[in-house]
Structure 1
């Protein structure tokens, strides 16, 4: 007997419209073991990383980024609508799109980034491979309201970059994120730490930010802190170095925080 999975694949191949492809892909995801509500985190991570449609340059970073992947996906569930903020070339967007299964991901980048780093080919490849990913091109402070509220927002080592936009107002931006979330929705944030007390003084020089500054911003915007993990901490990091310095790149001392919109 022909399985439902094969029928779904045949439908995706025979129908040309993107909506039909998305329908087939979500039907497949609904049956995948890693998409079950009871699927263990290890099963979900293994399945997400096993997807062969991701660029090889991204797959080569999986081992280095595994701790962050575990931290993020532990707060994402099948069916979620997620914003990947400052998504760059889409490393996290690929992972999130598989982790949400029948859900969806908005992959956002500022227009200056898209132009300066020639991101558009990689972004188009992302949406071609993953029909449940939608591209958002906007400044951080001008994120369009989502069609439906987000279950989660991921800000992966780019919160400091928001400070480098002209006229940045951190609390105003974070209040907009609060409004874009469902009640109980989460902001999952990682970023490179400065020395304590540095505030936002090194966001454009070292690409780091003081954890106390981040905590203060989100508290002022109305969020609740629900997790402050040391899973990405590295006390041996030289906090005076730029995060792109070859001596420390990929091994910086990073905060790992989860904020929640109150119910």
Structure 2
């Protein structure tokens, strides 16, 4: 009887701990996403589904997380506050020694954004560029690496070589059992591979293949960020759609009605 009661108590404590962890996770993400400081960026939540996406990847506020190419800091505004005090957030931004003007402007804007803002006081800034700047975090230190809508850039820049070197750097940074989360504009599988070179869309099969070549295992895929209205066949590629609206006012209502791109959401792991 005593053994049975002890087992019940242990089980109850385990359930209580799991519930507390779940509450902590939901609270951290909800608080970060609903922060008033995000007012300029929150309009895109309906297309990016940050809470659902991060939950799918298995995000926890005590993790060490690396975000690849955070750009203007859209996800930084969620990840950095959610991890602050319990976890670690690495922002692997463009290299400081890059000769590309856009990279320099983007990095300068990001540095300005995080400077003097308490939400970002614990951000660790590192560098990333395919084939050249691959030390995004200490080797084997990260629980999670996240990349949002970047694979097409590596493909268009250096074809397979660029994307593969990127995924290998993610693999190196992750702990055994760590998670790689990928969100990317999705090209229909029946389309020509040539369309990946300029459209901003890539095939889901291509992303999975590159990840596997780097050593990852596919854990799951999700349609959290899918958009069935997007045909992935537009005059200016993915940039025809919001928020870019590369055609300006021409057919703007049509493309706004479609919304942002159809996206794959893939969860990989580094094998134990």
Query: Would you say same fold, with TM above 0.5?
Result: yes
Secondary structure class of the residue paired with 1:84: strand
1:185-240 Cα deviation digits (max 9, x unpaired): 10110101112144753344211100000111111211111111112222221121
1:227 and 2:220 matched: yes
RMSD: 2.6
1:135 and 2:144 matched: no
1:217 and 2:210 matched: yes
1:106 aligns with: 90
Q: Distance in 2 between matches of 1:114 and 1:96?
A: 27
1:260 and 2:269 matched: yes
CA-CA distance at 1:86 after TM superposition: 1.6
Match of 2:240 among 239, 245, 258: 245
2:251 aligns with: none
Q: Distance in 2 between matches of 1:41 and 1:199?
A: 41
Map 1:77-226; keep pairs closer than 5 Å: 77-101=60-84, 102-111=86-95, 115-116=101-102, 118-119=105-106, 120-129=108-117, 130-141=120-131, 142-147=133-138, 149-166=141-158, 168-198=161-191, 201-226=194-219
Q: Distance in 1 between matches of 2:79 and 2:263?
A: 20
Alignment length, in residue pairs?
A: 226
Q: Distance in 2 between matches of 1:145 and 1:137?
A: 6
User: Gapped runs of 5+ residues in structure 2?
Assistant: 1-19, 242-254
Q: Distance in 2 between matches of 1:250 and 1:131?
A: 34
Q: Distance in 2 between matches of 1:38 and 1:232?
A: 23
Q: Distance in 1 between matches of 2:239 and 2:44?
A: 15
The answer to whether the 8 A contact 1:232-1:255 is kept is: yes
CA-CA distance at 1:155 after TM superposition: 0.6
Q: Distance in 1 between matches of 2:42 and 2:99?
A: 22
TM-score (norm 2): 0.73
TM-score (norm 1): 0.75
The answer to which of 162-171 and 204-213 deviates more is 162-171
Secondary structure class of the residue paired with 2:189: coil
Map 1:2-13; keep pairs closer than 5 Å: none
Structure whose residues are more often helix by fraction: 2
User: Gapped runs of 5+ residues in structure 1?
Assistant: 1-35
Q: Distance in 2 between matches of 1:116 and 1:243?
A: 19
The answer to whether the 8 A contact 1:191-1:256 is kept is: yes
The answer to whether the 8 A contact 1:151-1:181 is kept is: yes
1:50 and 2:50 matched: no
Q: Distance in 2 between matches of 1:63 and 1:172?
A: 32
CA-CA distance at 1:250 after TM superposition: 4.4
